[in-house]
Structure 1
Amino acid sequence: MKHYLILVLVFFCFWATTAQDVVGVDAETKLKISIKGLFQGRYSFSSHKDIDLTGLQHTDGEAIYNSFEIKRARLQFTSKISDRTEVSLLLNLADFKSDPKNKVLENAYITYRLNPYINLKMGQFRPAFGLEDMYPVDVIKSMDYSNQYTAFGNNGWQSFQIGASVYGNLNTELPIRYEFSVVNGNNRNQISDNDNGKHFSSRIETVIDKKTNLKFGINGGLGSVKAGDIYAAGVDVSGVFPLAEKWSLITEAEFKQGNNQTLYYSLDSLQRRGGVGQYQMRGLYVLPNLRYDINYHRLSSLEFSCRYEYFDQDFRHSSNPRQTWTPMLSAEFLKSYNARIQFGVVIERYKRNIAETTQYRNELFIIQVQSRL
């Protein structure tokens, strides 16, 4: 039955984007193309000379513990081909610095706006499954996305996936934004799905208080991987709280739990204990950000944040909880983070250190500059 639902969604996307030309509504609409860009460069160094920049502990003393790096060099193309239809492409040229296979191309999708309540999307995009899917990385209030975002992305729920979705806004007493997605779940730039299973996910977000933009979100998903059933679920909250004339506190928090099929299938069959449903991960983060709107010459604001994260990739078996603190000081120049300098420390702590793995305590210092074009 679920395969027929997918076919209906795909057919609806195709019909909606072509029907307008049949009736000739947009025949005179001019093609509009916008180009945007992002540069992020950083210098990082580890506080321990036997731990490299990926967090891997070396016993032979051969760790590369400091380096300059181009983190992102993005180009975004958006083409408005009618008053209802847009095509978006997002490339990260910095991915060419290593093996570009399954990299470089991040977004590649078409959207169709039927009305404010129903919008359709198909291609490669980030399905809505949490707070961090609601904004790009260049406006994040920390050094990068959270550990749980990376883990749930590797398991097909977040980050760049291939599929289709329907989303929109409902003008109820409490404004609601929703999105329902179906994706392959094997990450970006794949030739095809690696099995016949799909990830079905949803997000519903409502504004509880307009004055503080206090939002509450619920995320849930079901799927199958190689005939094994999987799930993921989470809740989140965010808001902006004015403190004084130029001071505000921007806060977000999120909790997620779900199966870790990536870990399960990476193990030898003799190492597995139970089915894929027994391998579960969960994570929590809290991110308060204190902002001072200074507006002095080209300096727009100063921000200080300190994100706390708790993440356990397999809490039912080989549990080794990871706790991460990321204090960060940020200076914003111009407006909307068009120019930004960040200094932060990623402090990693594990319940137990495991030699020659990334599960080892460490402090990574980062100085990052970014410019939005």
Structure 2
Amino acid sequence: MSKNLHVILFFVLFIMPLFVNAQTANTPAPADSESSVRYPHFQFKGLLQARYLESFGDNVDVLGVHHSTGEVTQSSFDIKRMRVGLNTKLSEATEVVILVNLADFKSDPKGKVLENAYGKYTFNRYLALTGGQFRPAFGIEELVPVDIIKSFDFSNQYYEFGKNGWTSFQIGASASGSVDLGKIPFSYAVSVLNGNGRNQEMDNDNGKQYATRLVFGLSKLHKIDLGLNGGIGKRSNQKVFAVGVDITSDFKLTDKFTFDLQIEYKQGTNQNLYFTLPPEGRTSKIDDYQMRGIYFLPNLRYLVDYKKLTSLELSCRFESFDNNFKTNPNLRRTYTPMISLEFGKAYTGRIEMGFEIDKYDKDIPDTSYYSDNLFLIQFQLRL
């Protein structure tokens, strides 16, 4: 049986129960039904992230680009995200999720704006099927919304692996679930992806990318989880891969102090870089172009609970990343110290202040591969 037939069968298995369940969801519940939930059930969500940026690098603008001549914008206000989302429960098992980022209209919106657009059917805790445009499970950051992460933004490796079809918003289908292996909680996710980014009219070749994530709960007391990630695929008849391992932990030090830590390592083919280079400017082997990175993100949280102030958090992410370490290495080290004030529950309101400090082994003039110190103040509201 061909790989394409496998993919077609996967979609059929997803779509059929989705439509069957949608029909039953539109049937009015009996008047004497014990359930108080009526379907469809709608939940609206929103997020605003507004920032002030100031670059302290020599001739480096607020976007991290070096300019050897001309004026440089080194301070600016910015709207990072203005998200509007809708989660619709068609039944207890079926949901449809839509998420757009209106801030993407400030630049060329092609290939942007629409973020989540998927349907999910949950049979039970062991199996759920997802299809559409979503964030496939391939690491820690893919499972955490950007508005509750412990830093200003996702890591450098997250965005680079997103350009290569493994993370961020991708079009495809996924099966996920959880089970207990004895006393060890275990969850999994298997995804089949186009691998060419979000909001694309169609796949840019017949190759697909297959990604898997396995998570083992090593300790319930301190919430220590071990994640293993692996992926293979084809891009323009070239074989590509990605692997990763991550650890998360959460320690309660006292009634008011908690400490959590994230460690994540990834390595994979940088096919995005390979195919953007002219044929005469690259080697014949795609495996010569690989990226790898690791980051540590410790976070200390103090529960204040004084009037409107809920908590105070201190974090400092350290990341080491190279997008082409085999052929043309240029290691990028990024330090992101940050202090965060939380207002309300679950980061309803948040004020963050700190730095993004980038250090390259080799500074390349008139590019974004240039060392910089960026100061940020970020204001966040979510619902």
Alignment TM class, shorter chain as reference? over 0.9
* Distance in structure 2 (CA, Å) of the matches to 1:87 and 1:371: 24
1:108 aligns with 2:117: yes
The structure 1 residue matched to 2:279, chosen from 269, 278, 290, is: 269
The structure 2 residue matched to 1:118, chosen from 127, 134, 138, is: 127
* Distance in structure 1 (CA, Å) of the matches to 2:25 and 2:334: 53
The structure 2 residue matched to 1:312, chosen from 317, 322, 330, is: 322
Q: Deviations over 1:268-288 (max 9, x none)?
A: 111111321221110000000
Indicate the residue corresponding to 1:141 in structure 2: 150
| AA in 1 matched with 2:196 | N
Contact 1:170-1:177 at 8 Å conserved across structures = yes
Indicate the residue corresponding to 1:43 in structure 2: 52
1:66: Cα distance to partner? 1.2
Contact 2:22-2:91 at 8 Å conserved across structures = no
| Equivalent runs, 1:130-279 vs 2, <5 Å | 130-173=139-182, 174-279=184-289
Contact 1:178-1:205 at 8 Å conserved across structures = yes
Q: Deviations over 1:253-303 (max 9, x none)?
A: 000000000111111111111321221110000000011011111111100
Q: Secondary structure at the match of 1:262?
A: helix
1:145: Cα distance to partner? 0.1
Q: Secondary structure at the match of 1:152?
A: helix
1:28 aligns with 2:38: no
1:78: Cα distance to partner? 0.8
1:244: Cα distance to partner? 2.1
Contact 1:181-1:200 at 8 Å conserved across structures = yes
| AA in 1 matched with 2:107 | S
Indicate the residue corresponding to 2:6 in structure 1: 5
* Distance in structure 2 (CA, Å) of the matches to 1:346 and 1:242: 28
| AA in 1 matched with 2:191 | S
The structure 2 residue matched to 1:92, chosen from 91, 101, 105, is: 101
| AA in 1 matched with 2:100 | L
Q: TM-score, normalised by structure 1?
A: 0.97
Contact 1:323-1:350 at 8 Å conserved across structures = yes
Q: Deviations over 1:34-59 (max 9, x none)?
A: 10101100000100251012211100
> Which piece of structure 1 moves more, 30-39 or 148-157?
30-39
Contact 2:44-2:87 at 8 Å conserved across structures = yes
Stretches of structure 1 that go unaligned for 5 or more consecutive residues are none
Contact 2:291-2:325 at 8 Å conserved across structures = yes
Q: TM-score, normalised by structure 2?
A: 0.95
1:27: Cα distance to partner? 2.9
1:77 aligns with 2:86: yes
Contact 1:21-1:27 at 8 Å conserved across structures = no
Q: Secondary structure at the match of 1:249?
A: strand
1:115: Cα distance to partner? 1.3
1:248: Cα distance to partner? 1.2
| AA in 1 matched with 2:124 | N
1:171: Cα distance to partner? 2.5
**Structure 1 vs Structure 2: percent identity of aligned residues?**
45
| AA in 2 matched with 1:324 | T
| AA in 2 matched with 1:8 | L
Indicate the residue corresponding to 1:351 in structure 2: 361
Stretches of structure 2 that go unaligned for 5 or more consecutive residues are 30-38
* Distance in structure 2 (CA, Å) of the matches to 1:282 and 1:213: 27
Indicate the residue corresponding to 2:35 in structure 1: none
Indicate the residue corresponding to 1:292 in structure 2: 302
Aligned CA RMSD, in angstroms, stands at 1.2
Change in CA separation of 1:25 and 1:39 when aligned onto 2, cut-off 3 Å:
closer
Q: Deviations over 1:77-100 (max 9, x none)?
A: 011111211000001111111111
* Distance in structure 2 (CA, Å) of the matches to 1:312 and 1:274: 21
Indicate the residue corresponding to 1:19 in structure 2: 20
Size of the alignment, in residue pairs?
A: 372
Contact 1:49-1:61 at 8 Å conserved across structures = no
Indicate the residue corresponding to 2:68 in structure 1: 59
Contact 1:219-1:235 at 8 Å conserved across structures = yes
Contact 2:209-2:232 at 8 Å conserved across structures = yes
1:360 aligns with 2:370: yes
